[in-house]
């Protein structure tokens, strides 16, 4: 199964600190337990929840368990570095979030202070704040719709 993984530079996992092997070489674990053990990655649709400032990799997973907004596998290997996740794309993602927030700040003035600061945020923070502003302005369905819009934006921009 093809999935995606954000790694710090040098192919280092952001939470576990494990260095992934060279592309094409399997990283294997003994057990799969979401958030505790296993090779964690996500589907393209879940990228907004896992944005990272490091490198984005396309990975192949084997023996996969599907968990809420993530995939956990017994083994995975790097397929290719997604070159499109660079500083320019990160800035463009933040700008897209800020653009979608503007009309919501008119609908719900209480979110205007948060909306005004999005353009200076990291992609992770901008995506989260944009989704929370949508939720305050339009409820839980608006939160999900904003995360869907973010995923669609990333899939198109990164050609996934």
| pLDDT tens, per residue, the chain with 160 residues | 999 999 999 999 998 899 999 999 999 998 887 778 889 999 999 999 999 879 999 999 999 999 889 999 999 999 999 999 999 999 999 999 999 998 888 878 888 888 888 999 999 999 999 999 999 989 999 999 999 999 999 999 999 9
Same domain, 144 and 104: yes
Is the four-CA dihedral 133, 137, 142, 144 of positive or negative sign? positive
Q: Which residues of 56-80 are buried (b: 16+ CB within 10 A; e: fewer)?
A: bbbbbbeebeeeeebbbbbbbbbee
Q: Provide the residue range defining the domain that includes 28.
A: 2-81
Same domain, 108 and 58: no
Q: pTM value?
A: 0.92
Total tally of structural domains belonging to the chain: 2
DSSP β-bridge partners for residue 12: 8, 19
Same domain, 46 and 100: no
């Amino acid at each position: 199964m093809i999935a995606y993984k954000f790694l710090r530079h040098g192919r280092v996992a952001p939470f576990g600190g494990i260095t992934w092997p060279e592309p094409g070489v399997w990283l294997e674990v003994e057990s799969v337990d979401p958030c505790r053990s296993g090779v964690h990655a996500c589907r393209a649709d879940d990228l907004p929840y896992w944005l990272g400032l490091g490198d984005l990799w396309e990975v192949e997973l084997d023996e996969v368990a599907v968990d809420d907004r993530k995939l956990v596998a017994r083994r995975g290997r790097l397929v290719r570095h997604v070159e499109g996740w660079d500083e320019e794309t990160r800035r463009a993602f933040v700008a897209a979030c800020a653009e979608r927030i503007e009309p919501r700040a008119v609908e719900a003035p209480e979110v205007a202070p948060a909306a005004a600061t999005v353009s200076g945020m990291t992609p992770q923070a901008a995506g989260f704040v944009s989704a929370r502003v949508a939720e305050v302005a339009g409820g839980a369905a608006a939160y999900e719709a904003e995360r869907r819009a973010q995923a669609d934006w990333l899939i198109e921009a990164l050609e996934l």
